[in-house]
Amino acid sequence: MKLSPLPSRATSLRRFLLLWLLGGLWLVMACIVFFHLVMGLINLARAQDERLVARLGRLELADVGNAEGVSSSTSPDPMFYRFGAINGSWIAGDRMLDAFPWTATLPASGEPRFYVAQRGNSSVRAAAALRKDAKDPGRNMVVQVAEPMSARFAVWREVPPALFGWLGVVAVGMSFVVISGVVMTSRWLERARRALDAPQLDVELYDGPSELRPAMARMHDLHQRQREWVEEQRRFLADASHQLRTPMSVLRTQLQSAIAGDAPASEILPQMLHTVDRATDMANQLLSLSKLEQIKRAGQLQTVVLHAVALEAVMELAPLIAAKRLDFALEGDDKLGATGDPLMLGELLRNLLANAIHHTPNGGRLGILVRAYAATVELVVWDCGQGVDEALRPRLFQAFSATKGGVGLGLSICRQIAEAMGASMDIYNRVDGGRVIGVDAVVRWSQGP
């Protein structure tokens, strides 16, 4: 079953900022308008109830001169009134205004009661109260006064139109400011994008947002390191192909000589074996370099017991030590540790130890010493070889700068492994009485200032 790809959720930053900022702005404007509308409705309702109470207090049956029960008002809407008996029968005023149905709830003090009533097909806001009949003081009447409900919601009468005009002008002006700011931000980000696309541009010339300057500097540093790494890999591949081509060409020549019978097989075959060994060593060193790059990129280091890793490397190369009948010693604290990677530290030790075995004469002495002093941990591979020629020292750790019998990658890889583990590495001639008596390869971890 083939799953359809999920839809992309990527959106434009400009669109997001415009929607977010303009949405917030217009929401504030809407809240202001809503507040004024609500306050206007409250004021209209309060004013209408006050008009009804005022009219109710002034209205007397003897003053009724309009048979229809309609009087003028201070508001643009007409006001209706009705006089009725306690039982709801009409006495005077507007016949279309329904009688107050809850006469038993009206207080004898004459305090009005507000309610919503019907007058024909329209709703009205009404107030009802008890009054003494002037002609018959022993009889109570129900006096009702009403106004159309539409007057209660005519909010435009309370809120001045100029307010909405000013709010509109302010909203448009602030929208223009927001849109201008978003456009300027977009241009700044565009300059930052162009700067990222031009890694050769000097960071000091960057004219985008200052908040993005650290990111720009970091990206330029990454670009620079990437270019340097690519250039190193290009040079390395070119050198490696050249170095591998050489033993293959030699091997081809040797095979042709063997086929043509130019030399006996007993002489050609050992030479061919040596050429194959040299190419194998070269391939192994290239694989080690590839593994080193993986370790560098992973960046996962741990505390490694140096004595244990050294012992494992010695056991692997024990046949070479025995073949030359060398006197070997593994010395030092067997609990001492340092930051590193077990596999790559083992590769480093095998390279240094193989180099020491190669340069130590038959029956000679060599060893590994693990030691610590002050805030420093050292791993020393020593031998009693002839020492390092000072003329070769500047090229000692350069790739493919081989001494006699080597492939030119071992010491270069060793130093890179040491640096990847936060250590340093160097080669020293061991001198006694002005005479070189051997070589010390020292890997050093400095754990303090």
Q: Name the packing angle between helices 342-359 and 265-298 (round to 10°).
A: 150
Q: In this model, does residue 370 exceed pLDDT 90?
A: yes
Q: Where are the domains of the chain?
A: 13-197, 220-294, 301-446
- Per the DSSP assignment, residues forming a β-bridge with 14 are none
**Least confident window among 65-79, 215-229, 283-297:** 65-79
Predicted local confidence at residue 65, as pLDDT: 46
Cα–Cα dist 56/137, whole Å: 19
CATH class belonging to 301-446: alpha beta
Report the CATH fold assignment for 220-294.
Helix Hairpins (1.10.287)
Helix axes 213-260, 265-298, angle to 10 degrees: 170
DSSP state of 4: P
Q: Write out pLDDT tens, residues 181-228.
A: 888 877 777 776 776 666 565 666 666 667 667 777 777 777 777 777
DSSP state letters, 194-234: HHHH-TTS-GGG--S-GGGHHHHHHHHHHHHHHHHHHHHHH
The closest alpha carbon to 349, from 438, 437, 417, belongs to 417
Asked whether 114 and 49 are in contact (CB, 8 A), the reply is: yes
Let me know: does 147 contact 73? Beta carbons within 8 Å: yes
Predicted confidence (pLDDT) at residue 242 exceeds the cutoff of 70 = no
Q: Measured between alpha carbons, how far is residue 403 from residues 7, 163, 239, 396, 398 in Å?
A: 60, 92, 16, 8, 11
Question: Does 408 score more than 50 pLDDT?
Answer: no
The pLDDT-based confidence of 449 (bands split at 50, 70, 90) is very low
Per-residue pLDDT tens digits for 91-103: 888 888 888 989 8
Is the per-residue pLDDT at 72 higher than 70? no
Percentage of the residues of the chain whose pLDDT score is greater than 90: 12
